[in-house]
Structure 1
């Protein structure tokens, strides 16, 4: 593994400029294509946002992807039901809006294209022909909103059962169980559901045989230990070799984005912990930052430092579990027991600071739930002093093992362009040699003040993806050490009317007590606007897009998770390999099914 010094200097240049200062005048080709027919929307996140006619969507996307400094990452694709929006008259929306958000790695800039669709004509052409990662995003939009993508290769339910009735992210769909009839499943209905879940190869364009042999179809999962959650992959096999595969997700879908519409801004914080349930407060981070960006809430340097320290602790915790299970899946059992001992030590520190372990829900709008306890620095320093030496031992034990090398080197390999086409971020992208880490390219919460390096590799295989996470743990240790050495003084909550409890002055005067009561019971009312914030999470880029129409709840919460995109690439990575190789590929992706299904 190496630290790419050339890429590091590029990061320095990129971090010195605002990555979101793009204007239409800077894209003359796009301006010419739209011919003044677009309408620009001002958003608090400063991302260039254009409403365009759906007939111009594909030409615009092809242009943006093919230009000299391309927008090469389909960052997100999602829909909004605009029909009940209180500020709908301020935007050119109809009944539904499709949103295509693109990222340019070379420009370090984003662009957001919006297409308004009427309910009686809620269909649009697919873009899977030139952006393969759009496949699942379009299926998700059809599944949850009923928007039809013409010429899609297989517009089929993605997160919901094939027998499901309706589209739950439409506003008329109830968001609470009390609004529906009690659930029941008699024997007849059970038989129908079981039949619907059977895998039909013809639906996916798979032949059951050819002139030479009959293919075998195998269900890997949804309860196989190597799929790390409730996840199924239907395999078409010729002997042990994989001819084709179909990932089947949605078993873990809980409707997190629907829940966000009924919870207060503050009340949704604990739900974020359960998305990537190994990421802890790292999940609070983009949600809280998106709200603070929306409401222009500034926090103290102490809050920023504590947030970074806790986020890096959870990066280490997540990577430790990945490292142990990767070795276990390849056949090496002992490392996971050693790593779990170290995870328990770090969880003990997390519990001493936050009062909880895996899901602290500790970040708050405008700050933290409480300040650091006395003695936090001694506990943290003891772990930081001890862990790197143990990590060195574990690396020798696992990564120098000749059997593991033969199982992982060259397996599940892809290059940088393929990674961008399939929306891969995090260590999976950096393993191809592209040094993209938002902590460097778009520093947030004070990351620009820390000295650390971004490890990269060049082979883009399962072995490199594992090695990078080991190197990233070492860099997280460096960041935490700087937090210990340079922890600023200051308040752990900002004095802003839209921040969430605790309010330190609530017992001193009646006006503040009333405000405190309303913030707790009804929740704060956030300003109207749209805010997207992305962070470098444990498994890749995690982002929250929040739309507020001026109420105490989010009108639309979009959760962009890395794992959702990563699992799409499994058929491409596994094609032609053996079943045993697929296990290594799955282990190297480092996914969590709650992060996929939400």
Structure 2
């Protein structure tokens, strides 16, 4: 496949245009001249056979502190990285553009993918790279008054590297003024020919936004003319923390990104680390991981299910569904010792083997939960008012979904039978039988239909884990698997020293780069990791599903009412930390 796309690009743009790069994840990767990147991306999206229709990710790397191995790595100051996906080819493609200078610039690709808007704003915010022709290049995650660009290497990573924080009255006034919404700055008019528009703040303390999210609505009466999502209130610098922690000690930080998805976050990160380290995970550890991921998928969907019904006026479901979520957490706690954030996956496997009695707990849940789902169908999905509030609301087509980077249930609700666990299996999912639920209307109701059926399919997977749990190791014996199995440390001094170093100092992961992509609870989640042969990552990029989904809010809310917006937000199933990182 890399040879195929290389030949197609060379035949169009010339042999000397693209410099290939070898990566540990074997994703075709090419360095592309700055002056040709827009034409190349336009060709890949709409002109090439079996096109790359989705802009999966757009990010950057500060190259200035990179320990340059002898692998042809160019001494650029910054690199902008475009990751595309083709459903026809079932393949990712990575293009890189090297830039020189303290604050370089590049042409915007928003005319090709509107979804590039937020990604380019994020690169500008985090790195100071400008995109010429961008419709509104301003900060997106950091406050507009922030000084510096956090993912540049010279920016402090810890509060102890900065001076003490002081909140003067002048600073309070400046910050409050910066939060004032000025419609003209966003290209919005205050008046139409026959009416004055009203601007309404929803959030950041509104229960309907499920967290610290602010959406400013431009209203004509009750009808939404336009919407401006204001994100970043939950930003904690997850990527920056990944570059200061060791490969091992960063694992618990991943738990807190999609904080409802639990170990699904660990898995997405660890698959990338294991690709870089060449670590094979034992079959038993794979099955344990899959079982816990699917338990967390059900737990996450139950939170969405109950709160969605609550947003639309039903009070009872959230109590029943949170009670069932507690049953799942009892299993998680018995196995892992923790509940929402068990931090239980490790490099090369899991922290411990399954405890005695785990199988009976799982068996009890499998026999109990199907009748609960049936009860919830009668209570919610068949409810007349629930249908009236969700059918035909927040509609988008399959083409729009792909163009905006929608993944997961939101994509499958448009008729696309695509699940990464099936189409690009990872972590042992190729060993399990399950179906991909789909719907066809692309509205809030169909997104609910897909998620409800996904819980039934997750039960099928968990049942197979219970029936066919293999014997064997729960962790790899690879020297980079961290930490080594504790029992072995009591047998010889070399293993004890290795255990001590791998925990306190961290494993030294070989230089290279790799991306993992998983089907998380809300869509595709991936970690793009770059190592320069050190005990910490040189660059950690977290691509979350909720970020592009939230960017789509203005498109799918125009023409609806304020009440419909709560249906749209509830049906989306986002998590604020998954947006802001």
Where does residue 15 of structure 2 map in the other structure?
A: 35
Q: 2:489 aligns with which of 492, 502, 506?
A: 506
Q: Identify the range of structure 1 (75-84 vs 24-33) with the bigger mean alpha-carbon deviation.
A: 24-33
- Taking the TM superposition and a 5 Å limit, the aligned residue runs for 1:299-314 are 299-314=281-296
Pick one of 438, 444, 459 that aligns with 1:477. Answer: 459
Q: Hey, what's the Cα distance between the residues in 2 that align with 1:465 and 1:500?
A: 39
Q: Secondary structure at the match of 2:266?
A: helix
Structure 1 residues 244, 88: closer, same or farther in 2, change over 3 A?
Answer: farther
Whole-Å separation in 2 of the counterparts to 1:254 and 1:432: 33
Q: Within 5 Å, give how 1:261-272 maps onto structure 2.
A: 261-272=243-254
Distance 1:338 1:78, change over 3 A: same
Runs of 4+ in 1 over 4 A off after TM superposition: 24-27
TM-aligned CA distance change 1:223 to 1:497, over 3 Å: same
Q: 1:5 is matched with which residue?
A: none
Give the distance between the partners of 1:561 and 1:451, measured in 2 at CA: 26
User: Which of 545, 553, 556 is matched with 2:528 structurally?
Assistant: 545
Q: Deviations over 1:312-336 (max 9, x none)?
A: 0000000011010111111111101
Answering whether residue 314 of structure 2 is matched by residue 327 of structure 1, we say no
Q: Secondary structure at the match of 1:550?
A: coil
Q: 1:76 aligns with which of 41, 57, 77?
A: 57
8 Å contact kept, 2:81–2:96: yes
Following superposition, the deviation at residue 34 of structure 1 comes to 4.1
What secondary structure, in the 3-state scheme, does the structure 2 residue paired with 1:547 have? strand
Matching residue of 1:455: 437
Aligned residue in 2 for 1:59: 39
Task: In structure 1, list runs of 5 or more residues that go unmatched.
Answer: 1-20
1:505 partner SS: helix
Superposition CA RMSD, Å = 1.1
Question: How much does 1:213 deviate?
Answer: 1.4
Seen in structure 2, the aligned counterparts of structure 1 residues 86 and 26 have a Cα distance that, compared at 3 Å, is closer
Written as runs of structure 1 = structure 2, the 5 A alignment for 1:376-387 is 376-387=358-369
**Cα distance, 1:38 vs structure 2:** 1.4
Matches within 5 A, 1:94-105: 94-105=76-87
CA contact 1:222–1:231 (8 Å) conserved in 2: yes
Residue 288 (structure 1) aligned with residue 270 (structure 2): yes
Counterpart in 2 of 1:150? 132
Matched, 1:576 2:559: yes
Deviation per CA, 1:429-465, whole angstroms, max 9, x where unpaired?
0000011100000111221111100000000000000
Secondary structure at the residue paired with 1:455?
coil
1:134-163: CA deviation from partner (whole Å, max 9, x where unpaired): 000000000000000001000011000000
Q: How far apart are 1:348 and its partner, in Å?
A: 0.5
**Cα drift, residue 356 of structure 1:** 0.3
Matched, 1:358 2:340: yes
Give 3-state SS (helix, strand or coil) of 1:99's partner: strand
In structure 1, distance between residues paired with 2:314 and 2:14: 57
The residue aligned with 2:279 is 297
1: distance between equivalents of 2:492 and 2:15? 58
| Structure-1 separation of matches of 2:102 and 2:341 | 43
- The alpha-carbon deviation at position 30 of structure 1 amounts to 5.0
Write the distance in 1 (CA, Å) between the matches of 2:130 and 2:14.
Answer: 24
Partner Cα separation in structure 2 for residue 194 and residue 30 of structure 1: 53
1:138 to 96, 111, 120: 120
Task: Check the 8 A contact 2:395/2:556 in 1, yes or no.
Answer: yes
Cα offset, 1:423, TM superposition: 0.3
Structure 1 position 109 matched with structure 2 position 91: yes
Q: Superposed, which structure 2 residues align to 1:234-273 within 5 Å?
A: 234-273=216-255
Residues 58/151 of structure 1: CA separation in 2 closer, same or farther (3 Å cut): same
CA 575–36 in structure 1, closer or farther in 2 if over 3 Å, else same: same
Aligned counterpart, 2:373: 391
What's the offset of the Cα at 1:121? 5.8
Q: 1:120 to 1:356 in 2, by over 3 A?
A: closer
Task: Work out the CA distance in 1 between the residues paired with 2:103 and 2:372.
Answer: 60
Kindly indicate whether the alpha-carbon contact (under 8 Å) linking 1:96 and 1:118 is maintained by their aligned counterparts in 2.
yes
| 2:490 counterpart SS class | coil
2:519 to 521, 536, 555: 536
Q: Distance in 2 between matches of 1:537 and 1:179?
A: 35
Residue range with higher mean Cα deviation, 558-567 or 497-506: 497-506
Q: Give the Cα separation in 1 of the matches to 2:178 and 2:289.
A: 46
Q: Distance in 1 between matches of 2:148 and 2:294?
A: 41
Kept after mapping to 1: 8 A contact 2:103/2:128: no
**How many correspondences in the alignment?**
578
1:520 is aligned, of 503, 517, 521, to 503
Secondary structure of 1:297's counterpart equals coil
Deviation of 1:355 after TM superposition, in Å, equals 0.1
TM-score norm. by structure 1 comes to: 0.95
Asked if the contact 1:409/1:463 (under 8 Å) is kept, the reply is: yes
SS of alignment partner, residue 52 of structure 2: coil
- Comparing 178-187 with 264-273, greater Cα deviation is found at 178-187
> Shift in Å at residue 32 of structure 1?
2.5
TM-score (norm 2): 0.98
